[in-house]
Amino acid sequence: MSNRIFAVVALAVALALAAVTQLIPNEYFFSAAYTVLLFVILATAWNILGGYTGYVNFGSAAFFAIGAYTTVFFYNAFKAPLPVGIV
């Protein structure tokens, strides 16, 4: 499959998943999926640094934790939506 076709299919799947999340009224599934995706990102960063380069770096986990706690703080304090918390 070419890169362009893969990008189109990936975008279609992402949009379909975003539409499905609006149909489910329970926030538990969204929260669980969000947590899983966060750990996928953290595992990928650890795989790149620790696996391919052999460099043990705890700084990426520290920055991940600071970002996660800051996002939760702003969400709880100001009820800021997720895109605002990411920026």
Task: Tell me if 67 is assigned to some domain.
Answer: yes
Q: What pTM value is reported for the model? A: 0.51
Task: Tell me if 75 is assigned to some domain.
Answer: yes
Nearest CA to 72 out of 60, 52, 64, 51 is that of 64
**Percent of the chain scored above 90 by pLDDT?**
9
The DSSP annotation for 18-81 comes to HHHHHH---HHHHHHHHHHHHHHHHHHHHIIIIIIS----SHHHHHHHHHHHHHHHHHHHH---
Task: Tell me if 71 is assigned to some domain.
Answer: yes
Instruction: Tell me the C-alpha distance between 68 and 65, whole Å.
Output: 5
Task: Tell me if 14 is assigned to some domain.
Answer: no
Query: What domain range includes position 55?
Result: 26-86
Task: Tell me if 18 is assigned to some domain.
Answer: no
Which residue is associated with the tokens 């009820």?
A: 79
For 38-60, how does the pLDDT look when each residue is reduced to its tens digit (9 = 90+)? 889 888 888 888 877 777 777 87
Total structural domains within the chain? 1
